[in-house]
Amino acid sequence: MIELRDIEKRYDGRLAVGPLDIAVSSGGITALIGPSGCGKSTLLRIVAGIIRPDAGAVLFDGEPFDPDSSNADTFRHRMGYVIQEGGLFPHLTARRNIDLLARHLKRPADDIADRLETLRGLTDFPRDGLDRYPDELSGGQRQRVALMRALMLDPDVLLLDEPLGALDPVIRYDLQEELRSIFRSLDKTVLLVTHDIAEAGFFSNDIVLLNNGMVAQRGSLRDLVENSANDFVRKFVTASRTIDSALEGIVQC
Amino acid sequence: MLGRARLTVAFLLLGFFSSVAHAQQDRTITIGSKSFTESVLLGELAAGLLNAPGSKAEHRKQLGGTRILWSALQRGDIDIYPEYSGTIAREIFAGKQPGSLADIRRELASHGIGMTEPLGFNNTYAIAMKPRRASDLGIATISDLARHPSLRLGFSNEFMDRGDGWPALKQAYALPHNNVRGLDHDLAYRALEGGDLDAIDVYSTDAEISYYGLQLLTDDRSYFPAYDAVFLYRLELEKSDPGAIRSLRRLEGSIDANRMSALNRAVKIGKQAEPVVAAGFLRERFDLYASVAVDSMLSRLMQRTAEHLALVGLSLLAAILVAIPVGLYAARRPRLGQVLLGMTGIAQTIPGLALLVLMIPLFGIGAEPAIAALFLYSLLPIVRNTHAGIVGISLSLSESAQALGLSRAGRLVHIELPLAMPSILAGIKTAAVINIGTATLGALIGAGGYGQPILTGIRLDDMGLILEGAVPAAALALLAQGAFELGERLFLPRPLRSQRSA
């Protein structure tokens, strides 16, 4: 479905991402993970066509996607993109945020209304929230609106950059559950960026762990934990503190 | 850039002023006058004589100084205006200094301008002091001034930098004074009376000389030439409208210095309107009964409001149409953007009056140059705020818009412009308020508006008249401010409204 071929991205002459090759198969969920600055968000933005790579190509079903070409928007319409905090337009109501593109593309009003209703059901979003502005919604509701906006044109691919990063833990926990069931019901190719190894494992069996812009290891959570390819991977997967280890620490004091 | 702006403004004006253009086709003779009472009176006299059956004359009063009138006459914006021989010789033809009236007439003819015979009085420049102060210091002649270098001198702005004004006088008499101020001629009398100044320049027929009982210092080196009052007119009138020139020439030799002083006094001290005083003279001297229409205050106010709104509205509209695209472009091309912002900034640094005068060679006198100048003034706040509004959009929002796959035009219309709108509106509001104030200067070049009564009020020392212009101008500025804030509340989506109007 998506293929990144020999991708390189430099900032101030320094190689920030790549060279790397990643292929994501159709219908699967892939999680990009790594420490801050490892290039995972940059990589996702390259796929979304927001950043142009300095070398290499992004292919959709074998077709190269050039963000500056005249048909770039047709590629973008096949992708939904959700970022941390949602990236919602503050001057538009939830409804207008969601149907902005469809209306701009002059899709029939009935189709838009039907699609909106379907998505509202899918994300369990309250009907009266549709006419509120983003700053009148809770953080979780804003993420649901962002998700509905991304799914409006029924894209093949869903790109999510830390979609739950700004939420508090309880809401985040609930939304993780919901999001996973949505992903399963949709049957779309999902590429998700997170910094949380547990969240990556929760969503996906295909985790790509990046370090300094290169793939450190790719596999399931179990692979990464049990067959760590190197010290970096070992350290990264064990670095997160569990409740149990935290309690142990208190007892030992 | 300027050419295109000029074209835009000209296009906008086309519809509005077509009626004026029509009037000109019917050959209305336009008389101009400078912004002091005697000139306005002479303009009224000419208008009264020319406004006979079969011809129509219009008087555009108090259009500023010599340079504005002279260039307006050459361009044909006006056909006739009163001038003084000394001014023509020393100021207009400063490089050539023609001596006799015949020389002057020849020089004028080479510019396509004709001159009547003198009207009968010599309104020369003179230096005036309060007699008490003069006698205390033992000053009777201009030469005596040199012995008192600490005296405070105040000269009319025109006198300050004229070829025959202060710089040459200072040289001719070797005057050492450094404490010299330029100020409005009508204010100078009050400053002298109040003791803030020791000596000022006056016109020898000024009504105030006798009113304040001032002493004129003897021009012991005969520095000042004769300033015989004459009318200048476009020579083509002799062919196209010989009757008008015949009427104008009836004033030759008809007004002596005492009579002119008396007429000036009737206006400045007697507080009569110029048209009334002029009509009185014409009736007495030529048995000419001209009807004097004195507008009611309400109709005056209505007319000035219409003029002022046209000045502000047209210039602001043109500025909005030009400045928003320029601001958008500047935001997209950062390096060129700095250049564009700098250019509009430069227009802002030119003093209002200078900018108005700079527009005269391009647009003549009247509303057009004022609108062009106000247009240039309005650009900066709108360009800058448009630029700031676009640049200030957060990266996450512009990336979201891009990732969504909205076309460039779609992003501009649905995302960038709406998000920048509060800033753009604030810029337009600033431009409008500045514009309303600055437009009062337009009266100096014949644009009318609220500046007209302010200008007349300063000239006649009439606070009521000043307020008649200043109060509506201030009210209009407040109204504009309020209208923009209301508009913000009505048209901006709630999250984008400023806290104050929420």
* Beta-sheet pairing, A79-83 with A157-161: parallel
With contact defined as beta carbons under 8 Å apart, do A82 and A125 qualify?
no
Residues of A in contact with B403 (CB under 8 A): 48-50, 76, 79, 81, 159
Q: Is the pLDDT higher at B74 or at B52?
A: B74
Q: Residue B293: its pLDDT value, please?
A: 67
A73-78 contact pairs (CB < 8 A, 24+): A73/B405, A73/B406, A73/B407, A74/B405, A75/A49, A75/B405, A76/A48, A76/A49, A76/B402, A76/B403, A76/B404, A76/B405, A77/A101, A77/A105, A77/A153, A77/A155, A77/B405, A78/A153, A78/A155, A78/A156, A78/A157
Residue % of chain B over a pLDDT of 70:
92
pLDDT band for B12, please (50, 70, 90 cuts): very low
Mean pLDDT of B312-340: 92
| Exposed / middle / buried, residue B356 (Cβ in 10 Å: 0-12, 13-18, 19+) | buried
Nearest to B495 among A72, A90, A104 (CB): A90
Q: Residue B163: its pLDDT value, please?
A: 73
**Searching chain A, which residue's CA lies closest to the CA of residue B418?**
A91
**Tens digit of pLDDT for each residue in A101-147?**
999 999 999 999 999 999 998 888 999 999 999 999 988 899 899 99
pLDDT band for B157, please (50, 70, 90 cuts): confident
Q: Residue B28: its pLDDT value, please?
A: 87
Q: How far apart are CA B286 and CA B181, in angstroms?
A: 43
Q: Residue B402: its pLDDT value, please?
A: 87
Alpha helices for B36-179 (secondary structure H):
37-50, 66-75, 85-87, 101-109, 131-137, 157-161, 166-173
Q: How far apart are CA A67 and CA A60, in angstroms?
A: 12
Q: How far apart are CA B342 and CA B390, in angstroms?
A: 18
Q: Residue B329: its pLDDT value, please?
A: 92
Alpha carbon separation from B257 to A76, A124, B280 (Å, rounded): 86, 95, 17
Q: What is the dihedral of CA B308, B310, B316, B318, to 10 degrees?
A: -150
Residue bearing tokens 């969504």: B404
B132-141 contact pairs (CB < 8 A, 24+): B133/B198, B134/B215, B134/B217, B139/B217, B140/B217, B140/B218, B141/B217, B141/B218, B141/B219, B141/B220
| Per-residue pLDDT at B308 exceeds 90 | yes
Mean pLDDT of chain B: 87
The continuous run of DSSP H or E covering A214 comes out as strand A214-219
**Sign, CA torsion B392/B394/B397/B399:** positive
With contact defined as beta carbons under 8 Å apart, do B287 and B52 qualify?
no
Q: Residue B24: its pLDDT value, please?
A: 42
pLDDT band for B53, please (50, 70, 90 cuts): low
Q: How far apart are CA B265 and CA B249, in angstroms?
A: 24
The answer to whether B404 contacts A149, with C-beta atoms less than 8 Å apart, is yes
Give the mutation candidate from A71, A89, A99 for the B interface (greatest B CB count, under 10 A). Answer: A89
Q: Is cis: bond before A19, omega within 30 of 0? A: yes
Q: Residue B16: its pLDDT value, please?
A: 46
Mean pLDDT of A203-222: 89
* Beta-sheet pairing, A206-211 with A29-33: parallel
Q: How far apart are CA B476 and CA B481, in angstroms?
A: 9
Q: What contacts A154, CB < 8 A, 6 or more positions away?
A: A115
With contact defined as beta carbons under 8 Å apart, do A226 and A32 qualify?
no
**Tens digit of pLDDT for each residue in B456-482?**
888 888 888 899 999 999 999 999 999
| Per-residue pLDDT at B417 exceeds 90 | yes
Nearest to B402 among A50, A84, A90 (CB): A50
Give the mutation candidate from A91, A99, A156, A157 for the B interface (greatest B CB count, under 10 A). Answer: A91
Q: Residue B248: its pLDDT value, please?
A: 92
Q: Which fold has domain A2-78+155-252?
A: Rossmann fold (3.40.50)
Q: Residue A224: its pLDDT value, please?
A: 86
**Searching chain A, which residue's CA lies closest to the CA of residue B491?**
A91
| Per-residue pLDDT at B19 exceeds 70 | no
Q: Residue A104: its pLDDT value, please?
A: 92
With contact defined as beta carbons under 8 Å apart, do A199 and A164 qualify?
yes
The answer to whether A87 contacts B396, with C-beta atoms less than 8 Å apart, is yes
Q: How far apart are CA A10 and CA A49, in angstroms?
A: 16
Residues of B in contact with A98 (CB under 8 A): none
With contact defined as beta carbons under 8 Å apart, do B205 and B38 qualify?
yes
Domain spans of chain A? 2-78+155-252, 88-154
Mean pLDDT of B8-19: 45
The answer to whether B400 contacts A135, with C-beta atoms less than 8 Å apart, is no
Residues of A in contact with B493 (CB under 8 A): 91-92, 133
Mean pLDDT of B20-38: 73
Q: Residue B459: its pLDDT value, please?
A: 81
| Per-residue pLDDT at A31 exceeds 60 | yes
One-letter amino acid at B37 equals T
Q: Residue B458: its pLDDT value, please?
A: 84
**Number of residues in chain B:** 502
- State residue A210 phi and psi, 5-degree precision: -105, 145
Q: Is the pLDDT higher at B232 or at A252?
A: B232
B405: left (phi > 0), else alpha (psi -120 to 50), else beta? Answer: left
Q: Residue B231: its pLDDT value, please?
A: 96
Residue A93, token pair as written in the block? 């109501």
Residue bearing tokens 């005036």: B128
Alpha carbon separation from A133 to A91, A94, A98, B331 (Å, rounded): 7, 6, 12, 27
Q: Is the pLDDT higher at A170 or at B55?
A: A170
Residues of B in contact with A74 (CB under 8 A): 405
Q: Is the pLDDT higher at B167 or at A245?
A: B167
Q: How far apart are CA B64 and CA B69, in angstroms?
A: 7
Domains, chain B, ranges and CATH? 26-120+227-286 (3.40.190.10), 125-216 (3.40.190.120), 297-501 (1.10.3720.10)
Q: Is the pLDDT higher at B312 or at B295?
A: B312
Residue A35, token pair as written in the block? 């420490």
Q: Residue B305: its pLDDT value, please?
A: 94
Nearest to B403 among A81, A90, A104 (CB): A81
B410: left (phi > 0), else alpha (psi -120 to 50), else beta? Answer: alpha
Q: How far apart are CA B43 and CA B58, in angstroms?
A: 9
Q: Please count the residue pairs, one from chain A and one from chain B, whose beta carbons lie less than 8 angstroms apart.
A: 68
pLDDT band for B413, please (50, 70, 90 cuts): very high
The answer to whether B495 contacts A134, with C-beta atoms less than 8 Å apart, is yes
- State residue A14 phi and psi, 5-degree precision: -90, 135
Alpha carbon separation from B379 to B10, B13, B364 (Å, rounded): 17, 18, 22
Q: Residue B14: its pLDDT value, please?
A: 44
Residue bearing tokens 């009757």: B243
Alpha carbon separation from B296 to A119, B58, B293, B299, B301 (Å, rounded): 69, 19, 9, 5, 9
Mean pLDDT of B329-345: 88
Residues of B in contact with A85 (CB under 8 A): 396
The answer to whether B397 contacts A89, with C-beta atoms less than 8 Å apart, is yes
* Nearest CA distance, A66 vs chain B (angstrom): 13
Q: How far apart are CA B92 and CA B321, in angstroms?
A: 40
Lowest mean pLDDT among A32-41, B18-27, B183-192, B335-344: B18-27
